[in-house]
């Protein structure tokens, strides 16, 4: 009887041990499930919190950008959108900031200006020589004149101006319009301070010996040192004409010297004001050779 009794005892112990193990495994599995569920819930909550935070940040950024672009104007002053919508030859009143001065002669000044929404070219605006010296970059002015167009260039003529007392200062950031060359959207940035990257210098014409040259004095090569410089540069198979306006950047400036050193085939980056004359004809203020 010892063997059957021993066998029964052994079986009883085995069953008891098996039950204990199963209980432990069940408890452990349940614990793991609770832990995993808690972790997933925490991760979901963290992800939702992060998404909400990003959305709030994006909304705040958009609101700030909109606030910056829609700067407050004085009573009776147009926003840039109103100026764009105004008919040619109608009176316009704007507030804008000096970006660069082209020239002064006989109490008339030609000035490149811009606000946070767009740019305005002021042609032969009434201005004393004393006030012209005060028109430094960043200065805020109020301008009253007439919207005009000449060979595609939209400008303000017959204008008078006044300094805005206690006005803030603003220097427009440069806008990269390289990808807009050859598109209808480019003109939306007319007169703004812009840059073009990775253009290839092309022949601007020929010298007296029939050799291709990289620039010309005046558009037809009829000028001499000190006159406007004209040069061509291409992108994606299309060639565009650029000008160093001698009233804006004369022959003592770095950009004037840089254009005179250009070679056909060089790759260049350009900066300047997006002027228009029978098509895009930027007034260039900086030339950088990036590849020989």
- Say which range, 51-55, 77-81, 127-131, has the weakest mean pLDDT: 51-55
In the predicted model, what is the mean pLDDT of residues 123-147? 98
The Cα–Cα gap between 224 and 222 comes to 7
The Cα–Cα gap between 232 and 197 comes to 14
In the predicted model, what is the mean pLDDT of residues 210-224? 97
pLDDT value of residue 291? 87
- Alpha helices (H) along the chain: 2-69, 80-85, 129-134, 254-260
Q: Which of 248, 288, 283 is nearest to 270 (CA)?
A: 288
User: Which band of pLDDT confidence, cut at 50, 70 and 90, is reported for residue 31?
Assistant: very low
**Percent residues over pLDDT 90 in the chain:** 73
pTM: 0.77
pLDDT value of residue 70? 63
- Say which range, 12-16, 122-126, 141-145, has the weakest mean pLDDT: 12-16
Answer whether 148's CB lies under 8 Å from 154's CB: yes
Answer whether 146's CB lies under 8 Å from 91's CB: yes
Please say if the pLDDT value at position 80 is more than 90: yes
The Cα–Cα gap between 107 and 118 comes to 26
pLDDT value of residue 12? 40
- Say which range, 16-25, 125-134, 199-208, 236-245, has the weakest mean pLDDT: 16-25
Residue 63, C-beta contacts closer than 8 angstroms, at least 6 positions apart: none
What are 41-70's pLDDT values in tens digits?
445 555 555 544 555 544 444 444 444 456
Q: State the chain's mean pLDDT as an integer.
A: 84
Angstrom CA distances, 125 to 142, 169, 257, stand at 12, 21, 30
Classify each residue of 39-57 as buried b or exposed e, where b means 16 or more C-beta atoms within 10 Å of its C-beta: eeeeeeeeeeeeeeeeeee
Q: For the chain, state the CA radius of gyration.
A: 35
Q: If DSSP codes are grouped into helix, strand and coil, which group holds residue 256?
A: helix
What are 167-186's pLDDT values in tens digits?
999 999 999 999 999 999 99
The Cα–Cα gap between 19 and 12 comes to 11
pLDDT value of residue 48? 54
pLDDT value of residue 112? 98
The residue ranking higher by pLDDT, 25 or 74, is 74
pLDDT value of residue 256? 98
pLDDT value of residue 11? 32
H/E run at residue 269 = strand 267-273
Angstrom CA distances, 189 to 144, 174, 186, 273, stand at 22, 11, 6, 9
The Cα–Cα gap between 177 and 191 comes to 12
User: Which band of pLDDT confidence, cut at 50, 70 and 90, is reported for residue 4?
Assistant: very low
User: Residue 217 — φ and ψ, nearest 5°?
Assistant: -85, 115
User: Residue 248 — φ and ψ, nearest 5°?
Assistant: -85, -45
Assigned token pair, 177 = 């319009």
Classify each residue of 176-195 as buried b or exposed e, where b means 16 or more C-beta atoms within 10 Å of its C-beta: ebeebbeeeebeebbbbbbb
Assigned token pair, 292 = 């020989």
């Amino acid at each position: 009887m010892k063997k059957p009794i021993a066998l029964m005892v052994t079986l009883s112990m085995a069953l008891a041990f098996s039950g204990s193990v199963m209980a432990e495994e069940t408890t452990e599995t349940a614990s793991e499930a609770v832990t995993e569920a808690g972790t997933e819930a925490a991760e979901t909550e963290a992800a939702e919190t992060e998404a909400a935070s990003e959305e709030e940040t994006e909304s705040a950024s958009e609101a700030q950008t909109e606030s910056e672009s829609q700067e407050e104007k004085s009573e009776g002053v147009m926003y840039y959108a109103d100026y764009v919508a105004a008919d040619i030859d109608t009176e316009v009143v704007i507030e804008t900031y000096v970006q660069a001065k082209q020239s002064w002669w006989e109490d008339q000044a030609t000035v490149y200006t811009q606000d946070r929404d767009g740019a305005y070219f002021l042609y032969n605006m009434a201005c004393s020589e004393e006030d012209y010296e005060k028109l430094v970059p960043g200065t805020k002015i109020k301008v009253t004149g007439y919207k005009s167009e000449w060979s595609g260039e939209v400008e303000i003529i017959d204008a008078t101006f006044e300094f805005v007392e206690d006005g803030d200062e603003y220097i427009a950031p440069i806008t990269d319009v390289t990808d807009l060359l050859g598109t209808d959207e480019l003109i939306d940035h007319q007169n703004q301070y812009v840059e073009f990257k990775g253009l290839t210098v092309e022949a601007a014409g020929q010298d007296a010996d029939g050799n291709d040259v990289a620039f010309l004095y005046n558009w037809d090569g009829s000028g001499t040192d000190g006159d406007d410089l004209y040069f061509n540069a291409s992108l994606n198979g299309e060639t565009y004409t650029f000008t160093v306006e001698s009233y804006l950047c004369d022959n003592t400036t770095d950009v004037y010297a840089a254009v005179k050193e250009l070679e056909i085939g060089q790759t260049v980056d350009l900066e300047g004001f997006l002027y228009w004359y029978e098509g895009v004809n930027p007034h260039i203020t900086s030339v950088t050779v990036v590849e020989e």
